[in-house]
Amino acid sequence: MADHSVEELAPTPGDRATRFLKRADVKQTTLFFIFWTALFVVLGIYFYPKWMPTIMSVEMKSAEKIMIWFTVISAPIAGFVLAVATTAFMNRHRGDTPPPDGPAIRTNGPVVAVWTVTSLVFALVAIIWGLTEMNGQAVAAAKDAKSAITIEVRGSQWVWTFNYPAQGIETHELNLPIGVPVIFDVKSADVNHSFWPVQLGVKVDANAQVTTVIHTTPDKLGPIDVKCAELCGLYHAYMETTGEIQSASDFDAWVTAQGGHKA
């Protein structure tokens, strides 16, 4: 960030830049900038994948990608802000009297302009990224709609139940076949709930009288958790159940065991 209040103006912009870069506080800020940027990059890349549960759908993958990449992209901005703050902190003044006055920099047009444009570009990246992902998911859902199985999810205070109309079964556990698109028609028997099959990375509220819909396609075998993500009264915390993403044959066997039939 160029600073135009250097006491004596150097003859050429090149000289000014060189002189600027040689300043002690500029060097210090640069070091802190590298440190903080690296720290945020590492935090994003290391912690989120470590913390998040198994990724079992495209939707979950895109949530994780956003969390990691937005951290990485914003790391230099965060790094810069924190670097300037840290440099100031390092050059702090102690004692019971105020420090001597600093340079009277009222503003700096180019800095403000560059800063504003940078944050605009950053906001646009976030917006375009999000819209592209949303669009991709919507297109995929529309394409998959024909081959999808439909599950009617019902939230009642404080138990989830799942109706598989094509299979003719109703359960309190959510088992799904791998690789088959699934449409959840979500409804509530009473207050608002939020249907959250955790590892599938999708979520939608359950409301009385209206059906809300979400789509996903499980792409990994294994157990899943189903939770309620909207405070729904006394036993909201216990409104959880489990399920499993199964191979086609295991799923059929499970349906039969529940008293249903192949769709």
Partner 1 sequence: MDTSTENEVSGGKRLISAVAFLFLGVAVVSTVGFTLHSVSADSQKKAYATVNGTATVNGATLKHAFINESVFPDDATARANQVNRTNSHPWPFYTEEHLVLPAHSLITMTLKVYDSGEQLNTNYFAKVVGTVDNTMTVDGQQVSSLDPTGVQHTFTLHGLPTSTQDPLFVNVPLPKMSDAEMTANKYRTVVFSFVTGGAGDYVWNCEYPCGDGTYAKFGAVMGQNGYMSGKVSVVNG
Partner 2 sequence: MSTLDKAHTSSRPVPNPKRSLITRLHMGTGVVVGIIFAALVYWALKNSLLTYTDKVADPLSPHDNNIVLLGAMFAWSIGFMAGIGAFIGPWRWLIGKDLTDEEILYLAGDGQGTKRYFKYCTDHKVVGIQYLVGVMTLLGVGGTMAMMIRTNLARPGGHFITATVYNSLVGLHGITMIIAMIIVATGPFGNYVMPIMIGAYDMAFPRLNALSWWVLFTAIPVLCSAWFLGGIPTGWTAYAPLSIQAGPGMNAFIATIIIFAVSTAVAGANITTTVIAMRTKGMKWNRVPIFVIGSTISVALAIPAFPTFMVSMIMTALDRTYNTGFFDANMGGSGWLYSNLFWIMGHPEVYVILIPGVAALMEIVPVFVRKPLFSYNAAIMGFAGIAGLSILVWAHHMYMAGWAPSLNGPFMVTTEMISIPTGLLFLVLIGTMWRGKPWMKLPMLSVFAFIWDFMIGGITGIYLSDVPADSYLHGSMFVTAHFHFTLMGAALTGAIGGLAYWYPKMTGRMLHERAGYISFWMVQIGFNVLFFGMFMAGAEGQPRRVVDYAALFRNSNLISTIGAYSVGTGMIILLWAVIHSWTKGKIAPMNPWGAKTLEWTVPYPVPLTNFDELPVITSDPYGYGKGK
- Near partner 2 by CB under 8 A: residue from 37, 74, 167, 217: 74
Q: Could you give the string, one character per residue 227-246, with x where binding to partner 2 holds by CB under 8 A and - elsewhere?
A: xxxxxxxxxxxx-x------
Q: Could you give the string, one character per residue 152-181, with x where binding to partner 2 holds by CB under 8 A and - elsewhere?
A: ------------------------------
Rounded Cα distance between 38 and 67, Å, is 16
To the nearest whole angstrom, how small is the minimum distance from the Cβ of residue 6 to partner 2? 10
20: three-class secondary structure by DSSP: helix
Rounded Cα distance between 174 and 159, Å, is 12
- Near partner 1 by CB under 8 A: residue from 105, 210, 238, 253: 238
Q: Does 211 bind partner 1 (CB under 8 A)?
A: no
Give the binding range for partner 2 (CB under 8 A) out of 124-132, 172-180, 244-252, 255-263: 124-132
Q: Which does 60 bind (CB under 5 to 8 A by kind): partner 2, partner 1, none?
A: partner 2
For residue 156, with 0-12 CB atoms within 10 Å meaning exposed, 13-18 middle and 19 or more buried, which class applies?
middle
What are 60's two structure tokens? 């979950």
Q: Does 92 bind partner 2 (CB under 8 A)?
A: yes
Q: Does 94 bind partner 2 (CB under 8 A)?
A: yes
- Near partner 1 by CB under 8 A: residue from 26, 84, 191, 229: 191
Q: Which does 156 bind (CB under 5 to 8 A by kind): partner 2, partner 1, none?
A: partner 1
What Cα–Cα distance (Å) separates residue 225 from each residue in 54, 83, 242, 249?
A: 11, 42, 5, 21
Q: Does 235 bind partner 1 (CB under 8 A)?
A: yes
Q: Does 233 bind partner 1 (CB under 8 A)?
A: yes
Within 10 Å of residue 102's Cβ, how many Cβ atoms? 6
Rounded Cα distance between 214 and 205, Å, is 10
Q: Does 205 bind partner 2 (CB under 8 A)?
A: yes
∠ CA 194-196-199, nearest 5°, is 170
What are 174's two structure tokens? 């959510």
- Near partner 1 by CB under 8 A: residue from 54, 118, 132, 242: 242
**Among candidate residues 205, 253, 252, 245, the one with its CA nearest the CA of residue 225:** 245
Cβ proximity of 150 and 166 under 8 Å: yes
Q: Does 185 bind partner 2 (CB under 8 A)?
A: no
DSSP for 115-140, please give it. Answer: HHHHHHHHHHHHHHHHHHHHHHHHHH
Q: Does 256 bind partner 1 (CB under 8 A)?
A: no
- Near partner 1 by CB under 8 A: residue from 208, 213, 231, 253: 208
CA 182, distance to chain mean position in Å, is: 22
Q: Could you give the string, one character per residue 140-179, with x where binding to partner 1 holds by CB under 8 A and - elsewhere?
A: --------------x-xxxx-x--------x-x-------
Binding site for partner 1 (CB under 8 A): 154, 156-159, 161, 170, 172, 189-191, 208, 225, 233-235, 237-238, 240-242
